């Protein structure tokens, strides 16, 4: 009684029917999936998901509610959220409200009752594509026309939608030893928190900042953050990074890795369905070890484009043998194509933050 139907239509005409558990409305975006078993709150608030419709493959979502400490930003970024089953009962650490109330407060369209594994297998076979979620109409023809008229993810600048509008400073939690400048392309809070835990005063700059803006504070190191979408259109960020290379130690994360690679002469390409989950094995050639990583990206760097002789391919994704990290042989810079801060996911790769600290200390 009182349940409202909702519809999902992909750009090739495939459709699904479910039940609305968020706000009413329609939303178009790139249809993607995440294989994490937990961490839905962190995923919802990760700016890297801007412009996307998020499908959770784990079948039961919402069972531990939401809490005030797990947000990775101040808003929900996916334009819609798809679940197999929404849990009406929730109980967990520090929970304060239900996921449904949280979605409604954040004006997010959400659906349950979709066969998410069928949808995921279809996206793995066909590749990520545009989709639309609607509680407004049952006309699949109308929805198909709307989604086919919606712009592709390729070539779209989403960073300007998520970056901070003004610079801000976060004091170190322990006594300050270093100053780090963060170029905010959609940074997650836990990245900032780890830096603060490691005695760093963190200065966060908008993605539109110039190299001169950043160098004015004379930072000990520079971090280029994660973020959403295609790195190729981000000429203004790439220019800034080019002008910083060789002047200060640099650490790039996810989109930051792609931007740094382009600034070094590399090229990127769009993956068939992306890497989004908390169980991706990464081989670190320097340590000769395999780590489990948290990932969220739809683009990747072509290793052949970095075959310049002064760049080492340090990390590889063992699932599909894609490039997952680089380091420069002569300059103090390195980057990884995943999230060493986890949230959600394993903490195997937090050692990379210590390497950044060691690099700043010379």
φ, ψ of residue 246 in degrees (nearest 5):
90, -10
Of the residues 28, 185, 200, 254, which is catalytic?
Answer: 254
Q: Are 128 and 90 in contact (CB under 8 A)?
A: no
CA distance 52 to 48: 9
Of the residues 77, 257, 297, 339, which is catalytic?
Answer: 339
Dihedral sign computed on CA atoms, order 18, 20, 22, 23:
positive
Q: Are 137 and 32 in contact (CB under 8 A)?
A: no
CA distance 207 to 224: 9
Enclosing H/E stretch for 178: strand 178-184
String of DSSP letters for 293-312: EEEEEEEEE-GGGG-SSSEE
For the question of residue 28 being annotated catalytic, the response is: no
Q: Are 191 and 226 in contact (CB under 8 A)?
A: yes
CA distance 80 to 130: 12
**What six digits make up the tokens of 85?**
């089953």
For the question of residue 339 being annotated catalytic, the response is: yes
CA distance 281 to 336: 13
Q: Is the peptide bond before 149 cis (omega within 30 degrees of 0)?
A: no
For the question of residue 297 being annotated catalytic, the response is: no
Dihedral sign computed on CA atoms, order 298, 304, 305, 311:
positive
Among candidates 45, 64, 33, which has minimal Cα distance to 278? 33
Residues with active-site annotation:
254, 339, 341
């Amino acid at each position: 009684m009182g349940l409202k139907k909702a519809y999902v239509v992909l750009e090739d005409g495939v459709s699904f029917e479910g039940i609305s558990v968020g706000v009413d409305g329609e939303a178009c975006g790139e249809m993607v999936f995440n294989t994490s078993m937990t961490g839905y709150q962190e995923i919802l608030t990760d700016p890297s998901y801007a412009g996307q419709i998020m499908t959770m493959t784990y079948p039961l979502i919402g069972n531990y509610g939401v809490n005030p400490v797990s947000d990775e930003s101040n808003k929900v970024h996916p334009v819609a959220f798809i679940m197999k089953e929404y849990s009406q009962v929730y109980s967990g650490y520090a929970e304060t409200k239900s996921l449904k109330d949280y979605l409604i407060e954040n004006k997010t369209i959400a659906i349950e009752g979709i066969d998410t594994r069928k949808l995921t297998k279809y996206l793995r076979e066909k590749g990520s594509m545009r989709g639309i979620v609607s509680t407004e109409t049952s006309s699949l023809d109308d929805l198909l026309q709307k989604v086919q008229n919606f712009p592709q993810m390729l070539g779209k600048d989403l960073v300007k939608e998520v970056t901070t509008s003004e610079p801000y400073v976060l004091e170190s939690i322990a006594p300050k030893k270093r100053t780090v400048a963060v170029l905010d392309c959609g940074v997650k809070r836990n990245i900032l928190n780890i830096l603060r835990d490691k005695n760093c005063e963190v200065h966060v700059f908008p993605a539109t900042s110039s190299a001169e803006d950043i160098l004015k504070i004379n930072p000990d190191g520079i971090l280029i953050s994660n973020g959403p979408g295609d790195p190729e259109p981000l000429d203004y960020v790439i220019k800034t990074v080019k002008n910083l290379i060789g002047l200060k130690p640099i650490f790039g994360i996810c989109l930051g890795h792609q931007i740094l690679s382009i600034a070094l002469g590399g090229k990127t390409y769009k993956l068939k369905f992306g890497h989004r989950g908390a169980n991706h094995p990464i081989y670190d050639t320097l340590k000769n070890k395999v780590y489990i990583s948290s990932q969220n990206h739809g683009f990747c760097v072509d290793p052949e484009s970095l075959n310049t002789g002064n760049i080492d391919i340090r990390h590889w994704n063992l699932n599909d043998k894609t490039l997952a990290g680089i380091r420069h042989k002569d300059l103090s810079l390195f980057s990884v194509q995943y999230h060493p801060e986890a949230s959600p996911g394993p903490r195997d790769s937090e050692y990379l933050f210590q390497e950044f600290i060691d690099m700043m200390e010379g």
